[in-house]
Each structure stands twice: as C-alpha cells, then as structure tokens.
C-alpha cells in the first residue's frame, strides 16, 4: 500500500544513531535541505544519536580509531591549511586533551568554510517543523529523562518511527 | 539575454550546503507569488542543488548563471 493521500508532500525518514560532531552533521543537513524543498521530515534519535536532542550540544570528535579523518589546521596560509598532519594514532590516543583540540579545530574549520554549526542546523530543523523522535529505550538504558531533551522533540519507540517511515519516499540510517 | 528584474536579492556568498537552499526557501516563502528572487552564491554545489530545489518545490528557476566567480540564480515564486 502506498500513501493514503497522493497529494501529500514527499517524506524523509532518518535514523540518527551517532552522537559525535562529525556524525551529527549528516542528519541535520539532510533534514534541513529536505525541509527547504517542502518535504515532511522525521528523525528518530537512537543510541548515541539521542544526545543530539540535548538543549546544549556537546558533540565532540576524535581522530582516534577514525583514520579517514583529515587532520587540518583552520588558520595560516592556504598550503598550511590544506596539509594533512600525519599524527600517529598512538600519540593522538595518549596526549591529554587531544580530542578537545581536534573538536575545536574541526569546528573552526567548518565555520571558516561557511558551514553552519550543528546548533544552527538543528534550530533550522525545529523552525521547519521537522519531527524529532527520541528513543525511549535508549533513554531507559542510559538513564535519561524527558526534561534532559529539547521541548520540541517527542519520545517514542521503534514502532512510532516505522509507522512514520512506512509512508516515506526516502529512509536513511545515519 | 533579457534582463530579469528581481524583487529581492539574497546573498549566500561564503555559505556551504545546505544553507543556500535553506535561506532561499525561507526568502521565497516571504514573497508574493509571481515575484522574482535573485540569489547569489559561491558554493560550487549550488547550481545542481538549486535545480533540484526548484524541481522539488515547483518554484521556477528562470536563470542560472556564473559571473565573476559567483553563481547567480533568478527564481520566480510559483507556489
């Protein structure tokens, strides 16, 4: 069975399952772009993705165990900025504060290049009425409460998301 | 080429995906049907994205051109 209403707008159903800074971007970019095209959008935030519904986002990134992540500097001449620093995983994993540094560098690089912050993208999604569903099971497992998350989200489970996704032209797991 | 007269200009220079389409969508919603928006961008991904956005929303991309390293779009609000 396809959509009950043939005139309904297209629909995008996303699962956001990761909470690091690098993986926080794809669901919010896709959701805001789809919203801008007049599509209905719903995102199911589950496992570590659930933390993307906290009022204050603390998403960080680590180059450890993330070998494809370019290590680049957000300042200096162009040649310096495009240089990919070959820092061994052993050093990155053992230098205190390395993740905080990598997170700061990535945020700064993104800002310099004209990419919106994750907070800004999420605000756009809220403004465009993107439906955000926090996973009840993940809340129970990690001990989160409803008030730990933004008021614009709702709480639901797999069936809530699947019912929504069943009527979606595009369904993606991030 | 005929000159297209715009009713509003939106400068998205320096912004990357998805900001040009998001800002365009917001600007178009604030315009009257039939009015024309001129959007300026520097993101090389903007031309294919604006074409897709126009097909998906039904707002007409009257012209897509490149001038002095900038991408310029004229969009008429149809819906």
What ipTM describes this predicted complex?
0.89
Task: Give the tens place of pLDDT for each residue, B17-53.
Answer: 999 999 999 999 999 999 999 999 999 999 999 999 9
Cα(A119)–Cα(A46) distance, integer angstroms: 18
Catalytic position from the list B17, B22, B52, B65 = B17
* Both structure tokens of A24: 């926080």
Per-residue pLDDT of chain A (174 residues; tens, 9 = 90+): 456 677 789 999 999 999 999 999 999 999 999 999 999 999 999 999 999 999 999 999 999 988 889 888 899 999 999 999 989 998 999 999 999 999 999 999 999 999 999 999 999 999 999 999 999 999 999 999 999 999 999 999 999 999 999 999 999 999
User: Please, which residues have CB within 8 angstroms of residue A127's CB and are 6 or more apart in sequence?
Assistant: none
B54 in contact with A, Cβ within 8 Å? no
Nearest-10 Cα torsion for A44, A163, B26, A21:
10
Give yes or no: B12 in active site: no
Give the span between the Cα atoms of A146 and A153, in whole angstroms: 9
Q: Where are the domains of chain B?
A: 8-76
Q: Is B18 on the interface with A (CB under 8 A)?
A: yes
Provide DSSP, A83-95: ------HHHHHHS
Cα dihedral: B16, B21, B24, B25 (round 10) = -150
Contact criterion met (CB < 8 Å) for A114 and B14? yes
Whether CATH 3.30.110.40 fits B8-76: yes
Measure B51 CA to nearest chain A CA, in Å.
11
Domains and CATH numbers, chain A: 11-50+132-173 (3.40.1260.10)
């Amino acid at each position: 069975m396809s959509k009950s209403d043939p005139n309904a707008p297209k629909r995008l159903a996303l699962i956001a399952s990761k909470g690091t800074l690098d993986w926080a971007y794809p669901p919010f970019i896709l959701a805001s772009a789809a919203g801008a095209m007049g599509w209905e959008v719903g995102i199911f935030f589950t496992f570590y993705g659930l933390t993307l519904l906290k009022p204050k986002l603390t998403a960080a990134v680590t180059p450890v165990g993330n070998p494809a992540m370019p290590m680049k500097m957000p300042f200096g001449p162009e040649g310096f900025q495009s240089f990919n620093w070959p820092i061994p995983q052993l050093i990155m994993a053992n230098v205190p504060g390395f993740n905080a540094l990598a997170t700061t560098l990535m945020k700064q690089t993104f800002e310099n290049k004209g990419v919106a912050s994750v907070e800004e993208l999420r605000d756009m999604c809220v403004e465009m009425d993107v439906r955000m569903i926090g996973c009840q099971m993940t809340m129970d497992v990690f001990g989160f409460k409803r008030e730990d998350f933004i008021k614009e989200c709702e709480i639901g489970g797999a069936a809530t998301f699947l019912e929504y996704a069943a009527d979606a032209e595009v369904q993606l797991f991030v | 080429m005929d000159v297209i007269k715009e009713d509003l200009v939106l400068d998205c220079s320096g912004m990357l995906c998805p900001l040009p389409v998001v800002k365009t969508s917001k600007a178009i919603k604030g315009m009257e049907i039939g009015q024309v928006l001129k959007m300026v961008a520097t993101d090389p991904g903007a031309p294919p994205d604006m074409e897709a956005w126009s097909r998906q929303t039904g707002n007409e991309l009257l012209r897509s051109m490149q001038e002095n390293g900038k991408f310029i779009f004229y969009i008429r609000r149809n819906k």
